[in-house]
Structure 1
Amino acid sequence: MASERAKELARKQRAEAKALKAAKKNSDNPADWGTLRQLRETYKLAAGHQSSTPWILLACVLGCTALGVVLGLWLGWLVMWIVIGVLGGLTLGLYVMQRIVKKAAFARAVDQPGGGEMALSMLDKKKWHCTPAVAIDRQMNCVHRAVGPGGLLLIGDGRGAHNLLHAEAKRYKQVLYGVEVQTIMIGDKNGQVRLQELTKYITKLPKTLSTEQVEEIAYRLKGLDRMHSRVPMPKGPLPTSGNMKMSRRAMRG
């Protein structure tokens, strides 16, 4: 009897393992993908955005390999330098493909509700506390919040987010005494910051807060959030397909 129960348990475990393997194989969640599938999906996204991607990647590999051959003929150890050239070309190709994927993702996020969340997600989470959609109106215009070395930032996201941004800034100034509130409007007009440049713009802001001040303000903001109910919104402007999830993963490297 014990032997039969053990055999039945083993069959059940094999069936569960097989089902789990099949679920991961067909999953749209990049966390379930292997390295090869992640690379394949990233390449598809890059090639879909820029048709010259295959030739660019080929040029990276061949160029670095040729450099390795030249160095090998000059310095000796030809095989070693060829291997180094090939590996260097693959590394350079992955970097270039990452850049193309980043451009593709931003191109799809422009003028979409919540697009600024993607740019904020690329900030260093050890330095910046980011909260998407702290305020949102019926037209899906919203305001994101970030606090870090560059100060307390409110980011207006949407063509009609100006009034909402000014109202939120006024509310924060009334509640957070002694804390400067900076506003940023995403857009292509004069005085606005393009979505593609938002992350870089924020990281280059002059340092106005120490680590201790950032943590103190972040703690005070949690209390402010509890006092005001927030309307939930979809996480980001992009479809929850595997390709676009892969794009965010690729952009972070």
Structure 2
Amino acid sequence: MAKPQEKVSFGQRLKQIGMVFKFTAKQDRWFTPLVAAAVLIPLALTVAAVILWSWIWLPVGILFTLLAVLIVLNLRSNKAMMNAAEGQPGAAAQIMENMRGDWRVTPAVSSTTQMDMVHLVIGRPGVILLAEGNPQRVRGLLGQEKRRLAKVIGSAPLHDYVIGQEEGELPVRKLRTTLLRLPRALSGKDVNALDKRLKALTARPQMPKGAIPKNMRPQGGAFRQSRGR
């Protein structure tokens, strides 16, 4: 479950908005012209309304201008973030953690040393598995996780997706809209109960597949001592 957000001051909020503006402008060449249009068109209409009718249209026009800029910023920044996340390890989990709504995300419940990973998501649509990495390897990980989860999820729906650009895979930029379109099969109480069961199942993380790094191997003396007990 996403952590509760801390209160952000007005100055910090403005700084965040400024960072989003810079990031989006760098990623999206159409962002600056669209923002300019979102400012100029409402202001031009406001000036015309003030000249033709009354000054009362001035605050209304300013509000509409701010609203238009925020709409452009929201739409284009989301698209820019999706494009930037394409191909990055863990991008699917990061997107899910930033989505609005009650999405319980557990990144990398299963993984390999080659950066293949499967993320677990619990929400109103049911249980969702998101796989990132080499398609052949992650399909094996998906199969293992589906068999493991089938023992505890009962009748809850189970959805699985391989994130990627190939046929049969889900592009990361379409992840948000795809999951939001899934039918809501569980109530809030069902989600809480399912979350508790799966937390108990995933409390002990699995060892990544592949060779164990040297810094993770047990010391020889400790191994012999454990055998001697």
TM-score, length of structure 2 as denominator length: 0.76
Q: Aligned pair 1:109/2:85, yes or no?
A: yes
Any gaps of 5 or more consecutive residues in structure 1?
1-30, 233-253
Q: Is 2:47 the partner of 1:69?
A: yes
Equivalent position of 2:167 in the other structure: 190
Identity among equivalent positions (%) equals 27
Gaps of 5+ in 2: 1-7, 209-229
CA offsets per residue over residues 122-146 of structure 1, 9 Å max, x none? 3334x32221211111111111111
Mapping for residues 125-144 of structure 1, pairs under 5 Å: 125=101, 127-144=102-119
2:75 maps to 1:89? no
C-alpha deviation, 1:73, in angstroms: 4.7
Number of residue pairs the alignment of both structures matches: 198
Alignment partner of 1:162 is 2:139? yes
- TM-score with structure 1 length normalisation? 0.70
In structure 2, what is the equivalent of residue 120 of structure 1? 96
8 A contact 2:25–2:31 mirrored in 1: yes
Counterpart of 1:27? none
Deviation at 1:119, TM superposition (A): 2.0
Task: Name the one with the larger helix percent.
Answer: 1
Q: 2:38 and 2:207 mapped to 1: Cα distance?
A: 47
Conservation of the 8 A alpha-carbon contact between 2:156 and 2:186:
no
CA deviation string 1:11-44 (max 9, x = no partner): xxxxxxxxxxxxxxxxxxxx68634432322221
Distance 1:138 1:171 in 2: 21
In 1, Cα distance between the equivalents of 2:187 and 2:12? Answer: 40
Q: Distance in 2 between matches of 1:70 and 1:164?
A: 62
Asked whether the equivalents of residues 141 and 157 of structure 1 are also in contact (C-alpha less than 8 Å), the reply is yes
Structure with more contact order per residue of length (Cα contacts < 8 Å, sep ≥ 6):
1
- 1:148 matched residue in structure 2: 123
Structure 1: which amino acid aligns with 2:123? G
